[in-house]
Every structure is written in structure tokens, then in C-alpha cells.
Amino acid sequence: MKKRKLGNLEVSELGFGCMGMSFGFGPAGDKKEMIGILRAAVERGITFFDTAEIYGPYTNEELVGEALGPVRDQVVIATKFGFDIKEGALLSDLNSKPEHIKRAVDGSLKRLKIDVIDLLYQHRVDDKVPIEDVAGVVKELIKEGKVKHFGLSEASAATVRRAHAVQAVTAVQNEYSLWFRRPELELIPMLEELNIGLVPYSPLGKGYLTGKIDENFKFTEKDFRTMSPRFAPEAIKANQGLIGLLNEIAQKKDATPAQIALAWLLAKKPYLSPIPGTTKMSRMEENAAAADIELTKQDVEEIETAASKIAVQGERYPAHLEAMTNR
């Protein structure tokens, strides 16, 4: 698989979002099986892995640490701080106080069984702590050798600029896909100006863009998509036009809808690396093969022209979680 640059950090063209193996989409996957998938992803050329202390909480970092320990010198590991974790909570209050960040980093290093975090993100912007203070703490952690690169997740363009003035931001992680394109408005032009990479999470629309979810799909009790207005049965049905579009293009390219959705992202900008996640070996292989699909400029224009005529229904998060984004 080809490499790309996020700022001055080299990563594989496609990364791997590890969250769903432990958290968010129902019961955690079988540990041995998940480790097998992660190691197979490395063999397939995927070397960029994303986790966070909140995923579990904690168990996803432990899984990633165990899985990637034998290949540590081949991979880039990204993790995140920023939630004030309370036992048993799906998501809890934000906390980016300097002392909390330092404790979080020490915990992540221990769970991941590594000496340095390759890319450390603030998971969500904490409006109670100036971003300059957050960037300053990460700058200290970089000097101490505990962190290599600084990132932000779901931050506004203005906040990224302020952080970057204190400590260079290597990458911004944001939801970005054919069904959520807000980053194109202000964020992406700013990233290009400042030579900051983009890491699209949920590049397959939390599974929707695979074409495997319809209004009759049954989510498990612990699946966080049950909280999302965009996954209400009526919204799922209303958004099928997007799946029809992907299917049409996929047939022309001898590909799957998921592969077209990923190939579209890869064709957009050279400084982004999407991080699709999965708990299935076959899906990992399918996602990885998307890097082999080349879309021409005309292909991209045709996809976007058709997609612009489809109004996506439903908000991506419930209001209290959406309020944590684009700050």
C-alpha cells in the first residue's frame, strides 16, 4: 500500500479505526480474532492505527497494544485524551485540564505498551480550557519524549489555527464522507494552507455506505447508532438514494459501494488518510483493496454532482454530542 504524509508524519494511504472492536457498535469482539485482524492489516500494508482511552473505556488501547506490540517498529499508533471517564459511562464530561492530560498520556502509554505515542489527539475541544493551554501541555509532552505529534479531533478551523500557533498540529481527525461533507467548507482549505493532514473517521458513514443497512436493520442494545437521528428507520430509508449512487458507480468499476466511498476520499486530497474500522477479516480486505481503485477527476466530479442532488436526512449525533463538535 502507498504512503501519504499528514504534515510531516508518514502513514499508510488507508488507516484502521480500532474503536468498534471494543466499543460503540455492540458487544466487544473476540480478543484473539480482533488481534488476528489487526496483524493481518499490517501484513496488508495498513500501518496507521487509531484508538482512544474512552473506547471501552481503556480496553481498546489494551487490545491495540497487545496486537501491535510485535510489529511496533512498522506502525503509527494514534490515541486520544479529553474525556473525564466515569466507570460504565458511554461518553462522559470533557476534561482537558493540563494535569488530566498528563495522567491520560501516562495511562495510554502503559496500556499501549509503548514508549512514545506517535500521534496524540485532543478528542473533543473542551471549552473550559483554552486551546493554547492544551497545545502547551502537548508541547511539553513532546519535549519529554512521550509524544511525537499533536492532533485535534472535531475542532473548528479557528481553534486549529490557535493551537497550531503554540504547537504545530500534524493532523485533524474529523468525520468526513460522502454523507457528511462539512469539513469542505472551512476546515480543509485551512488544513491545506497550514500543511496539516486530515484523518477522516467514519469514512463509510458508520457502516451505512456499505449498503448493508436498511430500515429493517436490527441494531444491538449497545450500538451507539441507536442514538443517532441519522439511523432512525425513516432516515435510513430516506437516504437510500446515496446507496443507489454508490452501487451504480461500483458496478462500473467492478467494486463494492464501500470501496467507492473510500476511493472517493482518497481521490479528494493527497494529505488525508481515512480510518475505516471493522471486526471482520473480509471487510478489512475489502477496505484495503479500495486503495487500488483509481477514480479520475471526471469520476469524482460525476459522483459529487449526483450526490449533491441527494439531501441526506437526519443529524449524525444527538444534540448533546453534536454540541461537542466544531468548537
Q: Are 26 and 71 in contact (CB under 8 A)?
A: no
Separate counts of helices (H) and strands (E) for the chain: 12, 9
From residue 43, alpha-carbon distances to 47, 54, 285 in Å are 9, 27, 11
In the residue annotation, 121 being an active-site residue is answered as: no
**DSSP structure class, residue 272:** B
Pair type for strands 147-153 and 169-175: parallel
Are the CB atoms for 34 and 67 separated by under 8 Å? yes
Radius of gyration of the chain (CA): 19
Contacts of 304 (CB under 8 A, 6+ apart): none
Q: Coil, helix or strand for 113?
A: coil
| Distance, first Cα to last Cα, the chain | 34
Task: Give the dihedral of Cα atoms 23, 28, 32, 38; nearest 10 deg.
Answer: -30
Closest CA to 126 of 167, 96, 100: 96
Catalytic residue among 55, 121, 176, 208: 55
Catalogue the active-site residues.
55
